Amino acid sequence: MRTKFTGRFQGYSSVDFQKDILSGITVGVIAIPLAMAFAIASGVNPEYGIYTTIIAGILISLLGGSKYQIGGPTGAFVPILLGIVLAYGYADLLLAGLLAGIMLCLMGMFKLGTLIKYIPLPVTIGFTAGIAVIIFTGQIANFLGLTGIEKHEQFIANMKEIILHVDTINVYSIITALICLSVILGTAKLLPKVPNSLAGLIVSSIVASIFFAEQVPTIGTVYGGIPNALPQFRMLDITWERIERLLAPAFVIAALGAIESLLSAVVADGMTNSKHNSNRELIGQGVANIVTPFFGGIPATGAIARTATNIKSGAVSPMSGIIHGVFVLFTLLLLAPYASAIPLASMAPVLMIVAWNMSERKHFAHLLKQKTGDSLVLLLTFLLTVFTSLTVAVEVGLILAILLFVNQMSKQLITEKVLPDHHNKQSKVLPHVVNDQHDCPQVSIYTIEGPLFFGAAQTFEKNILNTLQGKPRVLILRLSKVPFMDTTGEATFRNIVKEIHNSGGTVLVSGATSTLKETLQKNKLLEEIGEEYFFKHTGEAINYALTQLNTNQCIGCHHFAFRECKQLSQPSCLNNKTYN
């Protein structure tokens, strides 16, 4: 079997197909319990999670930008989807998923895939850990078998519900949950190749059906039976009013879906030494989320754990992801009635384990111990995710991270007044040479190091104007270590140039990079300064500056900033020297 499809099946063989069948079935077995668990945790019927796994899983593998990506419902979406269901209802969740899919396609078309890498790690770890806490605590009620629980959007309200109904604890539910948890942990340790979640569900369901029949709530008793039929196409009720109120939730779904899927693709790249196409991945994710709601499915994205399992199981191409979806479909058609007998108490440990694994606890603790600005961003993002919403958490986390970054970068800008060091054979210009008794009144030289941007522009201007002695005839600015200049930096730079020009002085620039010169040319500063006043080396600029001196002012001067000063302090001609 050799074919090409979007460049990812080149050289594909029958041996590769066999490997993909094995990995696809393996991931499919793992995906089934997770699909139902994530759907239930999101406030919808378990079959909708299965529909998502089938349709979105196939489309993401078929159209995405990663060869190994496994798509479907994920834990990261749980608090967002539950919030939408509680606030608007299941029908609006489907429309929000559709809108999110359109947004993802637009992100890919406008090539925004690479922007995801600019999201700071503390923000990502913070909201991921927050989501893990929400998922874990959200399963306490099912683990304990509590009844009469009402779900809320707010974390504190949900905790109050558990406390208020703690007297309804069901011992049989606890036993069932502990059996499932024990099997999951034991299987992971003793039989690592066996899907531990599925093993836990099967064993605990059998025990509950034999010994605790009708004593613990099951999927069937709470949600009704899972239909063993193909997902049915349904038209969505799309109105402008509904679109307007769902734009914000849809954007959160799209943003989180983009982050999650591209992080998963990056993990896959690291495991396989391959390279994904970020923008195509976003388009594939978008198409999947556009189509899935018409079949009752919930939003989907790339699943890191399932993608990693896919690779470890020997996946060769996207065919493994397609097979994983097909396998889940056949399982639905054949075994759906049996899934209805799974106790909700058995689903709780599955999600608790997922939450524990996604909590990033080691990275969280490591960043927190550093006690830096990143620690503050991490903690604030985490707390806001848990106690407010993911939207607020990410917005505040990003803003704080940006402010801290700007503050840090502003400190990187160094503006120093310098003069040639005559004790140095090459007469290098250095800051320690400058003092009250050794500073030329007519020529001022400054070394600027670091980005000249809005966060540092004011400091740059202040440092130069405060250290200028009077109004020099020549100001030399050494810019070889200025990587870029933004609009604010350019405005500040222009103010300094104008002030020197208005006092009758000249501004010389040395060492400006070609990129910086292009920036200055675009904003016409190059023309304002004069292209002839740009020099490659500082020595050339100094030599030119010495020709612009008021020699009468030099007579009697004892600063001797330059080698020529001894002669210039007496009526004589200039003695040209070269400085580096």
For the chain, the domains span 14-224+238-402, 414-568
Distance, in Å, from the CA atom of 208 to the CA atom of 206, rounded to the nearest integer, reads 5
Q: Residue 502, class by beta-carbon neighbours within 10 Å (0-12 exposed, 13-18 middle, 19+ buried)?
A: exposed
Angstrom distance (rounded) from CA 323 to CA 28: 8
Q: What is the pLDDT of residue 344?
A: 94
Written as one letter, the residue type at 269 is D
Band of pLDDT at residue 580, cut at 50, 70 and 90: very low
Query: CA 166 → CA 139, 141, 181, 417, distances in Å?
Result: 14, 9, 21, 71
Bridge-based pairing state of the strands 414-420 and 429-430: antiparallel
Predicted pLDDT of residue 557: 84
pLDDT at position 398 over 70: yes
Indicate the average pLDDT of the chain.
91
Nearest to 469 by CA among 442, 492, 495: 442
- Per cent of the chain over pLDDT 70 is 96
* pLDDT (0 to 100) of residue 574: 44
pLDDT band at 469 (very low <50, low <70, confident <90, very high): low
**Mean of the pLDDT values across residues 480-491?**
92
pLDDT digits (tens, 9 = 90+) for 316-350: 999 999 999 999 999 999 998 888 899 999 999 99
Q: Burial level of 491, CB count in 10 A (0-12/13-18/19+)?
A: middle
CA atoms lying within 13 Å on the CB side of residue 121? 9
How many whole angstroms from its chain centre is CA 414? 30
Read off the pLDDT of each residue in 27-44 and give the average, rounded to a whole number: 94
State the pLDDT at residue 406.
Answer: 87
Q: Residue 337 has what pLDDT?
A: 86
Per-residue pLDDT at 2: 43
Give the span between the Cα atoms of 34 and 184, in whole angstroms: 13
Position 119 confidence tier, pLDDT thresholds 50, 70, 90: confident
Tokens of residue 260, six digits? 């999650």
Cross-strand bridge partners of residue 443? 474
The residue to which tokens 């405005």 are assigned:
491
Checking if the pLDDT of 1 tops 80, the result is: no
Out of 3.40.50.2000, 3.30.110.40, 3.40.718.10, 3.30.750.24, select the CATH number for domain 414-568.
Answer: 3.30.750.24
Q: In terms of C-beta distances under 8 Å and separation of at least 24 residues, what long-range contacts does 188-195 make, across chains too?
A: 195/26, 195/29, 195/30
pLDDT in tens, 121-179: 999 999 999 999 999 999 999 999 999 999 888 999 999 999 999 999 999 999 999 99
Furthest CA-CA distance within the chain: 113
* Numbers of helices and strands, H then E, in the chain: 25, 8
d(CA 432, CA 551): 26
Those residues with Cβ within 8 angstroms of residue 161's Cβ, 6 or more apart along the chain or in another chain = 141, 149, 150, 151, 152
What local confidence, expressed as pLDDT, does residue 409 receive? 86
Centroid of chain to Cα 458: 30
pLDDT for 578 equals 45
- Looking at residue 575, its pLDDT comes to 46
Q: What is the mean pLDDT of residues 486-512?
A: 93
pLDDT at 513: 93
Please check whether residue 348 is in contact with residue 143, taking contact to mean a CB–CB distance below 8 angstroms.
yes
At 463 the three-state DSSP class reads: helix
Per-residue pLDDT at 315 exceeds 90: yes
Q: What is the pLDDT of residue 554?
A: 86
Cα distance between residue 295 and residue 5, in whole Å: 26
Q: Whole-angstrom distance between the N-terminal and C-terminal Cα of the chain?
A: 67
* Better pLDDT: 474 or 554: 474
**HSE-up of residue 184 (Cα within 13 Å, Cβ side):** 22
Q: Which amino acid is at 369?
A: K
Q: What is the pLDDT of residue 322?
A: 96
pLDDT at 4 over 50: no
How confident is the model over 202-252, as pLDDT tens digits? 999 999 999 988 899 999 999 888 898 889 999 999 999 999 999 999 999
